[in-house]
Amino acid sequence: MTTSRGASPRAATLTDVARLAGVSVATASKAINGRDQVKAETRLRVLEAAERLAFAPNALARGLLRGRTGTVGLLTSDLEGRFGIPVLMGAEDAFGAGRVSVFLCDARGDAIREQHHVRALLSRRIDGLIVVGARTDPRPPLVSEVPVPVVYAYAPSEDPNDVSITADNIGAGRLAITHLLACGRRAIAHVSGDPSYQAAQDRAVGATAALADAGLDLVGGQTYFGSWSEGWGRGAARMIVEQHPEVNGFFCGSDQIARGVLDALRELGRDVPGTTSVVGFDNWEVLTTNARPQLTSIDMNLERLGRVAAQRLFAAIDGTVRPGIEQLPCRLVTRESSVPN
Amino acid sequence: MTTSRGASPRAATLTDVARLAGVSVATASKAINGRDQVKAETRLRVLEAAERLAFAPNALARGLLRGRTGTVGLLTSDLEGRFGIPVLMGAEDAFGAGRVSVFLCDARGDAIREQHHVRALLSRRIDGLIVVGARTDPRPPLVSEVPVPVVYAYAPSEDPNDVSITADNIGAGRLAITHLLACGRRAIAHVSGDPSYQAAQDRAVGATAALADAGLDLVGGQTYFGSWSEGWGRGAARMIVEQHPEVNGFFCGSDQIARGVLDALRELGRDVPGTTSVVGFDNWEVLTTNARPQLTSIDMNLERLGRVAAQRLFAAIDGTVRPGIEQLPCRLVTRESSVPN
DNA sequence: AAAGGCGCCGAAAAGGTTTTCTGAATGTAT
DNA sequence: ATACATTCAGAAAACCTTTTCGGCGCCTTT
């Protein structure tokens, strides 16, 4: 075990650069930041000195002086869940492209921890904050008065004056049904997950509406709610096939459920996609592409959602706010489990 | 669309607090930070004022003054992959418990982007940096000279003088085989993924060694390498059962492969866990608990790995460095697919 | 009563950058 | 030669906090 600390030679400061270039710090600053009032030759000398010293301006000092720090907070309620991550990736992407750095905090769904993190972020003078939820159910707004713009992503805020971005699950339901109809299926069942999820309800609403538009109703006259698991998908599929043998289309609330449905259908001797079509939800690669047959699924474009959230935050920081819930469309990814005519 | 900017009343500063409490900023600072040299009554007055103004010390100013900022960088090469996330969670957890905030950067496996992010982080004067890789293969160290401590997590650095934390995949291979032997299996096959992965090689080494200790060899005399997919698992299982019908244990390189193996075995009429045992790898909930039967798997304890990385970084920041690669043990999670005697 | 000690508070500097304003030097016009 | 405009460089303030050190007033001691 070593106990040295690698004699790090204090990072170069603007003063060092100025001294090396033989100018004042003011001039050095102007030269480096491309302001005018500096002769070309002088600027060159300064830039050369900065290069030699590997000068990197101290963002703390800069942030202290100007109002802005060029940092934002990304407050997620659960890193664990697989919905937060893509949103986070999109946001990080959108920010990283510019000059903004991201503070990541995980509140683990705990309001106390959340508040603690918000305080820490504010003390670091972030320019804005994105709050990423684990479900699309509206969530109570941040308790603390936050003096910077906030954008809620995936889980919208209950306060309509806040800026929220979420996925259009109703539209997604329509999309799935429209596709199944295009596959020539008329007897369509909807097997979904935990009905306490707003997302499950929304998808059911969209599905029902799209069927109604075609003068049809769901097989069984209702959505089959259960849990987001393969086991439920298997059980539901068996039950539905037994009670309604005419069923020839399944819209599933998640890819896991769809995997279960596919498994059950195969064991029941049903031909997918020959006589029955199946559509999943989430477009979770590891499940969709490993399924037999590969699974058609709905993608919520979560990365895009994250990017849009970042853009809205930028706009808000610049003073342009468009309050309310913005619903981003979902996308159908066609694979083998459903073949349109 | 509103274009107001919500008249945010500039955050309270220490000067404001001091004025309200009728003391100097110096006294206010000491009172708030619990230094002595302050009369109890005065301290109370200051704290009250701070409370009233919702005062939060400006971390930028503090960081500028003292050397440390209380921030660290978390540089991941792929957020997408599922190995980086748990490590990240563990690290975030360990830091969040203290007073440290985390800058998250995703380099997407691109060296240029990585360097760009390192520069940005350094300009923000982070106190340390954790580099999280996507694979356990050693990676080249950071190109830039970084004046703060660095810890490599999951993917160790090629430089033995760096501090690296990774998972003990050799030990994991032994662990799996030992367990299968304890289940009474003697004809064990190892179905793994892409052989270019160091992790795949290490697990095979550990498995072979453990079998050798028992005077045995792998079924087929070798590891069956392929891809990390269910499809490969299915194909490999069928092939192995055909060529070596005596096989009664499968150690799989990933849970996906194991799912494929399980599916194939079921279709071949093999009884799992009655006459054949299967062990997966990664302990990926969504795959293990939805499998039929539920899948025994090896867990790399990635969250713990992240936490340990954070601890090592703390230690390094405090000047205590223990260079080299630290291998953290993996853990067996027993489920239905394997039953020890 | 004078000297010393102690408790408490405030002035000031430091940390690195940006910006404004002043001033010097040079060039141009009368 | 004088008045004036133009160009460029530097001094200084500002951002906010922490820490050191000096000093003031009060109490104790002789």
In A, residues 147-166, which contact B (CB 8 Å cutoff)? Answer: 147-148
The alpha carbon of B245 is separated from its chain's Cα centroid by a whole number of angstroms, namely 39
Instruction: Collapse the DSSP code of A275 into the 3-class scheme (helix H, G, I; strand E, B; otherwise coil) and give the result.
Output: coil
Q: Does B285 touch chain A (CB under 8 A)?
A: no
Quick check: B79 and A102 CB within 8 A?
no
Q: Does A80 touch chain B (CB under 8 A)?
A: yes
What residue is closest to C14 (Cα–C1')?
A: B65
Nearest chain B Cα distance for residue A5, angstroms: 5
Contact B100, B161 (CB under 8 A): no
pTM score: 0.94
Contact A161, A141 (CB under 8 A): no
Query: Of B88, B146, B137, B85, whose CA–CA distance to B114 is shortest?
Result: B146
Nucleotide nearest the Cα atom of B36 (by C1'): C8
Å from the B104 CA to the D10 C1': 40
What residue is closest to C7 (Cα–C1')?
A: B37
Contact A113, B92 (CB under 8 A): no
> Which parts of chain B register pLDDT below 50?
1-7
Å from the B37 CA to the C4 C1': 20
Q: Tell me chain A's radius of gyration from C-alpha atoms.
A: 27
Å from the A25 CA to the C20 C1': 14
Quick check: A106 and B92 CB within 8 A?
yes
**HSE of A251 in the Cβ direction (CA atoms, 13 Å)?**
32
pLDDT tens digits along A143-196: 988 999 999 999 999 999 999 999 999 999 999 999 999 999 999 999 999 999
Which of A121, A260, A322 is closest, CB to CB, to B1? A322
Quick check: B119 and A74 CB within 8 A?
no
Phi first, then psi: give them for residue A147, nearest 5 degrees: -80, 10
pLDDT tens digits along B214-259: 999 999 999 999 999 999 999 999 999 999 999 999 999 999 999 9
Specify which residues B321 forms β-bridges with: A2
State residue B1's pLDDT score: 47
**Residue owning tokens 């508040």:** A115
**Residue owning tokens 């106190």:** B127
Per-block mean pLDDT, blocks of 10 residues, chain A (341 long): 50 94 96 92 95 95 95 92 91 89 94 95 97 97 93 98 98 98 97 98 98 98 97 98 97 98 97 96 96 97 98 95 97 95 70
Quick check: A290 and B103 CB within 8 A?
no
Q: Does B227 touch chain A (CB under 8 A)?
A: no
By CA distance, what is A103's nearest residue in B?
A: B103
Measured CA to CA, the distance from residue A293 to residue A291 in angstroms comes to 5
Q: How far apart are the first and last CA of chain B?
A: 69
Query: Chain D positions under 7 Å from a protein CB?
Result: 7-12, 14-21
Which of A58, A103, A321 is closest, CB to CB, to B103? A103
Q: CA distances (Å), B232 to each of A158, B222, B255, B285, B290, in order?
A: 47, 16, 12, 20, 19
Q: Which of residues 51-70 of B touch strand C (CB under 7 A)?
A: 61, 64-65
Amino acid at B187: A
Quick check: A124 and B92 CB within 8 A?
no
CB of A57 nearer than 7 A to strand C: yes
Cα three-residue angle B263-B269-B273, rounded to 5 degrees: 70
Instruction: Collapse the DSSP code of A279 into the 3-class scheme (helix H, G, I; strand E, B; otherwise coil) and give the result.
Output: strand
Cα three-residue angle B315-B320-B324, rounded to 5 degrees: 95
Query: Of B149, B209, B151, whose CA–CA distance to B177 is shortest?
Result: B209
DSSP B33: T
In A, residues 117-136, which contact B (CB 8 Å cutoff)? Answer: 117, 119-125
Which of B54, B103, B321 is closest, CB to CB, to A102? B103
Name A213's Cβ contacts closer than 8 Å, sequence gap at least 6: none
State residue A124's pLDDT score: 97
Helix axes B14-21, B25-32, angle to 10 degrees: 100
CB of B39 nearer than 7 A to strand C: yes
**HSE of A176 in the Cβ direction (CA atoms, 13 Å)?**
41
Measured CA to CA, the distance from residue A162 to residue A139 in angstroms comes to 11
State residue B7's pLDDT score: 46
State residue B8's pLDDT score: 60
Candidates A14, A60, A64, A326, partner chain B, best to mutate (most B CBs within 10 A): A60
Candidates B76, B252, B289, B290, partner chain A, best to mutate (most A CBs within 10 A): B290
Which of B99, B256, B319 is closest, CB to CB, to A286? B256
Contact B185, B277 (CB under 8 A): yes
Nearest chain A Cα distance for residue B11, angstroms: 8
Tokens representing B47? 């704290």
Nucleotide nearest the Cα atom of A33 (by C1'): C18
Measured CA to CA, the distance from residue A219 to residue A214 in angstroms comes to 14
Specify which residues A296 forms β-bridges with: A279
Residue by residue, what is the 3-state secondary structure of A107-153? CCCCHHHHHHHHHHHHHCCCCEEEEECCCCCCECCCCCCCCCCEEEE
Contact B287, B321 (CB under 8 A): no
Contact A252, A203 (CB under 8 A): no
Phi and psi based region of residue B113 (left: phi greater than 0; alpha: psi -120 to 50; beta: remaining): alpha
Which of B1, B106, B319 is closest, CB to CB, to A96? B106
Measured CA to CA, the distance from residue A28 to residue B310 in angstroms comes to 38
Å from the B6 CA to the D12 C1': 33
Q: CA distances (Å), A213 to each of A216, A220, A327, in order?
A: 7, 18, 22
Quick check: B106 and A89 CB within 8 A?
yes
Measured CA to CA, the distance from residue B278 to residue B250 in angstroms comes to 5
Candidates A4, A285, A286, A295, partner chain B, best to mutate (most B CBs within 10 A): A286
Q: Which residues of B touch A91 (CB under 8 A)?
A: none
Q: Which residues of A touch B80 (CB under 8 A)?
A: 89
Average pLDDT along chain A: 94
**HSE of A248 in the Cβ direction (CA atoms, 13 Å)?**
15
Buried b or exposed e, range A313-335, using 16+ CB within 10 angstroms: bbbbbeeebeeeebbbebebbeb
Name A146's Cβ contacts closer than 8 Å, sequence gap at least 6: A118, A122, A129
Nucleotide nearest the Cα atom of A13 (by C1'): C16
Average pLDDT along chain B: 94
Q: Does A60 touch chain B (CB under 8 A)?
A: yes
Count of C-beta atoms within a 10 Å radius of residue B273: 17
Q: How far apart are the first and last CA of chain A?
A: 69
User: Which helix (DSSP H) or strand (DSSP E) does residue B20 occupy?
Assistant: helix B14-21
Specify which residues A157 forms β-bridges with: A139
Query: Of A301, A291, A316, whose CA–CA distance to A128 is shortest?
Result: A316
Which of B80, B148, B286 is closest, CB to CB, to A89? B80
